[in-house]
Amino acid sequence: MPALERELERLLGERAVLTAPDALLAWECDGFTVHKSRPRAVVLPNSTAQVQAVVRLLHAAAVPFVPRGAGTCLSGGPTAGADAVVIDLARMRQVLHVSTEDLYAVVQPGVVNLDLTTAVHHLGLHYAPDPSSQSVCTIGGNFAENSGGPHCFKYGMTVDHVLGAVIVLPDGALCRLGDPAGARLPGALDLTAVFCGSEGTFGIATEITVRLCRDQRAVRTLLGAFATMTAACRTVSDIVAAGLVPAALEILDQATIRAVEASVYRAGYPADAAAVLLVELDGPDDVVAEEAAEVRAFMQQNGGLRIEEATDAAERKRLWKGRKGAFGAMGRLNTDLYVLDGVVPRTRLEEALVGISAIGQKHGVLLTNVFHAGDGNLHPNISYDGRDAAMTARTVAAGHEILQLCVDLGGSVSGEHGIGTEKLDHVRMMYGDADLDVMARVRAAWNPDGRCNPGKVLPSRNACAEVAKWPQMIAKVLDPEGGA
């Protein structure tokens, strides 16, 4: 065993270091399975001190490293190069402190998003950002990716809920961001917000202070089934135009509905509907009741085929179950899934969906749509067979065109899944050299040697001015060794 691995074992113990090449295959990719790369080793530290010791060692040895949570990222963020060590934070899952008065919690990075809400549920509190993978994904990963979720339409993204953090910097030094006491105090640069969404390239958060929200007095979830996608989108526009701010506004298309209904997450969505719209309202009882009536009216006006309303927790859970299980259910359509993450202005949703469907047809790929309609955050899903190189290439090409369409409509290449390795080629659709240069300088301030999660977020300099070179990503798919 090489000296470095021995040294890692000395620091963490034998059971916290994995080096058998075959076992390491399990860490080859995250939820974005297009890019695969087997790391050099995986370590499982259980404390800030252990993370610090490992990072110091790797820094001294000039070995790159990649932090990882539950591996549910959809853009290749925690996928490590063959020379890199994965620092897996799954064993750091303690809720360290809960303040019921100042409404915050201090957690280790491996705490699962939903577990935090479960831990404070009896206090009438919850953690608001709720990615669909919330039962699996970690707060550390959410912080790194600035994750969103259905309820972010009203409550904001992760960046709006992280108040501070303890960070192990890429050279092993420790730094504190924000206020550990849970107040976001003005007066200096807001580095917590800068760190949020840096996708593990600025360092490793080992303690995170997050805001807790009080549970609302009343919650109602409405389901509207429509004969056309257009009708569902118009209902969303009507709701927002009327000044309502629902906690969530989600749409699933027919193919998604059918896959979900065939799975254990079946929620009783009508299989013949072209689109299902989920609207969640929360607040004081009378306000919610009044708003529910308004939403119902908009659904009816737009020709809703069926309108359902859930008022108790069990019924609500049922209606949400299908949405939360939607990505996984796509495994019923083909062996692999490419989950896209584009944003368009809400008013252009219909246009975007028509365009996306045309792109799918042009490339002959199987496309389904499930999205956060309130934010205009689309998740076109392409089901494909990763063993078929030509189909994979068509999938990636269609994905590229879809993201270009989003940008052309005035949107963005990512709403909440991050850039990772997936969208390295797409970043240039939005940013020029000068923009990217500023970002690179900010990153260099945190990560001067570039060994903390290398090859993510910002396209490398030598790939510059190569807007037309996006097929680079396809080349990487077809020849992973050459591209890596």
Partner 1 sequence: MTFSADSKGDAYARTLDCVHCGLCLPTCPTYQVLGVEADSPRGRIYLMRALAEGRVQDPQSIRPFLDRCLDCRACETACPSGVKYGEVLETTRAKLEQQQPARGLAAWLVRTLLWHVVAHQRRLRIAFALLRATERLGLRWLATRLGLMPAHMAAIAPTVPPAAERAPLRTGLHVPPPGVARRGVKVALFTGCIMEPVFGRVNRATLQVLLANGFDVDVPAAQRCCGALLVHAGQPERARELARANVAAFADADLVLNNSAGCGCAMKEYGHLLGDEAGAAFGKKCRDISEFLAEAGLTAAPRPLAAKAAYDDPCHLCHGQGVRAQPRQLLAQVPGLEMVAHGKPEDCCGSAGIYNLLQPDVAEEIGRRKIESLVRAGVDLVVTGNPGCMLQIDSHLRRAGHRIAVRHPIELLVPPA
| Neighbouring-strand partners of residue 178 | 164
Q: Which helix (H) or strand (E) holds 187?
A: none
Cβ-based nearer residue to partner 1, 202 or 327: 327
CB closer to partner 1, 131 vs 246: 131
Q: Which is nearer to partner 1, 73 or 233 (CB)?
A: 73
Q: From the list 5, 7, 9, 33, which residue makes contact with partner 1 (rule: CB under 8 A)? A: 33
Interaction between residue 262 and partner 1 (CB under 8 A): yes
Residues 75-104 touching partner 1, rule: CB under 8 A, are 88, 90-91, 93
Give least dist CB 139 to partner 1, A: 14
* Binding flag, residue 481, partner 1 (CB under 8 A): no
**What DSSP element (H or E) covers 65?**
strand 65-68
Write out the E strands in 100-173: 104-107, 125-126, 162-168
Structure tokens at 268: 């009783």
Closest CA to 408 of 429, 384, 380: 429
Shortest spacing between CB 284 and partner 1, in angstroms: 30
180 binds partner 1 (CB under 8 A): no
Binding mask 310-349 for partner 1 (x = CB under 8 A): ---------------xxxxxxxx--xxx------------
Measured distance CA(114)–CA(120) in Å, rounded: 10
Q: Does 30 bind partner 1 (CB under 8 A)?
A: yes
Say how far apart CA 143 and CA 343 lie, in whole Å: 20
**Which residue reads 């969640």 in tokens?**
280
The yes or no reply on residue 20 touching partner 1 (CB under 8 A) is yes
Run of H or E residues at 226? strand 218-226
Q: Which residue(s) pair with 58 in the sheet?
A: none
Min dist. Cβ of residue 338 to partner 1 (A): 10
Q: Which is nearer to partner 1, 23 or 242 (CB)?
A: 23
The smaller minimum CB distance to partner 1, of residues 138 and 447, is found at: 138
Q: Alpha-carbon distance 53 to 449, whole Å?
A: 18
Nearest-approach distance from CB 107 to partner 1, in angstroms: 15
Q: Among residues 17 and 405, whose Cβ is nearest to partner 1?
A: 17
Of 8, 17, 43, 44, which lies in the binding site for partner 1, with binding defined by CB under 8 A? 44
Residue 31 lies near partner 1 (rule: CB under 8 A): yes
Instruction: Tell me how far, at minimum, the Cβ of 451 lies from partner 1, in Å.
Output: 22
Report the 3 state secondary structure along 337-380.
EEECCEECCHHHHHHHHHHHHHHHHHHCCEEEEEEEHHHCEECE
Q: Does 264 bind partner 1 (CB under 8 A)?
A: yes
Nearer to partner 1, 164 or 418 (CB): 418
Q: Smallest distance, Å, CB 163 to partner 1? A: 26
Q: CB nearer to partner 1: give 265 or 298.
A: 265
**Cβ atoms 194, 167 nearer than 8 A:** no
**How many residues contact partner 1, by CB under 8 A?**
46
Encoded one letter per residue, x for contact with partner 1 by CB under 8 A and - for no contact, window 124-153 reads ---------x-xxx----------------
CB of 132 to partner 1, least distance (A): 9
The smaller minimum CB distance to partner 1, of residues 126 and 234, is found at 126
In the bound state with partner 1, the residue whose beta carbon lies nearer, of 335 and 460, is 335
Establish if 61 lies at the interface with partner 1 (CB under 8 A). no
d(CA 329, CA 346): 26
462: which 2 tokens?
A: 């030598």
Whose Cβ is closer to partner 1: residue 141's or residue 459's? 141
Minimum CB–partner distance for residue 30 and partner 1 (Å): 7
Order of strands, sheet of 65-68, starting from the edge strand that comes earlier in the sequence: 17-18, 41-43, 85-88, 65-68
First vs last C-alpha separation in the chain: 25
- Please spell the DSSP secondary structure of 24-63, one letter per residue: GGGGS--S-TTS----SEEE---SHHHHHHHHHHHHHTT-
Q: Helix (H, G, I), strand (E, B), or coil: what is residue 307?
A: strand
Determine, following the binding rule CB under 8 A, whether residue 199 of this chain makes contact with partner 1: no
Which of 64, 71, 76, 148 touches partner 1 by CB under 8 A?
71
Summarize as ranges the residues that interact with partner 1 (CB under 8 A): 18, 20-23, 25-31, 33, 42, 44, 70-72, 88, 90-91, 93, 110, 112, 114-115, 133, 135-137, 260, 262-265, 325-332, 335-337
